[in-house]
């Protein structure tokens, strides 16, 4: 069985424990710092929104690049990451302007850019527990296209744990952390429920 490690702690403390290039691929979705306007539906009442929607400091990216060989960073257009050739567009198959029609991910891969078309999380009987939750299918697609057998995967903003679910299903060793205790607890419950339904063989 693949190793699947998730902790409720600050990502800077987590990354400090690992040597250079310990992780083969970091797939991360850090807060963009857009403010409470991104909180919709039941999440408008989420008083934690102001806490987790804080844009990372430059030191975060320094550490992320230190501990990982390759990176996929959602919301890369909000951060000073420099140009990239192999960027990713997630087409959410939904009309604008009420919601964003797509999302940009910066990558360290020197390859052609790609588009993934899939509706937002909440479809396919996915329970949505985080305002910026991404579908498991998105992470499956990322791991299929950018991961290699034996890769160690890192997610520094675990949220609803869609990335952890996909990595476990596909046999990748996975390490993730989430700072908010409520989201961490709900994400762990979601992960455990999901893997309990997987076939034994």
What is this structure's pTM?
0.89
**Spatial separation of the C-alpha atoms in residues 144 and 116, rounded to whole Å:** 12
Nearest CA among 105, 54, 48 for reference residue 76: 105
Q: What is the pLDDT along the chain (201 residues), one digit of tens a residue?
A: 899 999 999 999 999 999 999 999 999 999 988 765 555 444 444 555 446 678 899 999 999 999 999 999 999 999 999 999 999 999 998 876 657 889 999 999 999 999 999 987 655 667 788 888 999 999 999 999 999 999 999 999 999 999 999 999 999 999 999 999 999 999 999 999 998 887 754
Q: What is the residue-wise DSSP string for 68-130?
A: EEEEEEETGGGS-----SS-EEEE----TTTS-SEEEEEE---S--EEEE-PPBTBTTPPP-S
First vs last C-alpha separation in the chain: 11
In CATH terms, the fold of domain 4-196 is Rossmann fold (3.40.50)
């Amino acid at each position: 069985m693949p190793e699947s490690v998730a902790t409720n702690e600050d990502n800077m403390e987590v990354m400090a424990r690992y040597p250079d290039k310990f992780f083969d691929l970091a797939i991360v979705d850090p807060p963009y710092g857009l403010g409470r306007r991104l909180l919709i539906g039941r999440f408008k009442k989420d008083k934690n929104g102001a806490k987790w929607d804080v844009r990372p400091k430059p030191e975060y990216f320094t550490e992320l690049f230190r501990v990982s060989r390759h990176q996929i960073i959602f919301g890369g257009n909000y951060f000073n990451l420099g140009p990239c050739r192999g960027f990713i567009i997630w087409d959410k198959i939904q009309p604008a302007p009420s919601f964003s029609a797509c999302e940009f991910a910066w990558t360290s891969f020197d390859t052609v850019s790609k588009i993934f078309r899939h509706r937002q999380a909440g479809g396919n009987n996915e329970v949505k527990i985080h305002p910026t939750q991404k579908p498991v299918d998105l992470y499956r697609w990322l791991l299929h296209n950018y991961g290699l057998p034996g890769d160690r995967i890192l997610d520094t903003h675990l949220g609803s744990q869609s990335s952890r679910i996909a990595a476990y299903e596909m046999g990748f060793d996975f390490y993730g952390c989430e700072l908010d205790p409520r989201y961490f607890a709900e994400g762990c419950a979601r992960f455990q429920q999901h893997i309990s339904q997987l076939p034994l063989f």
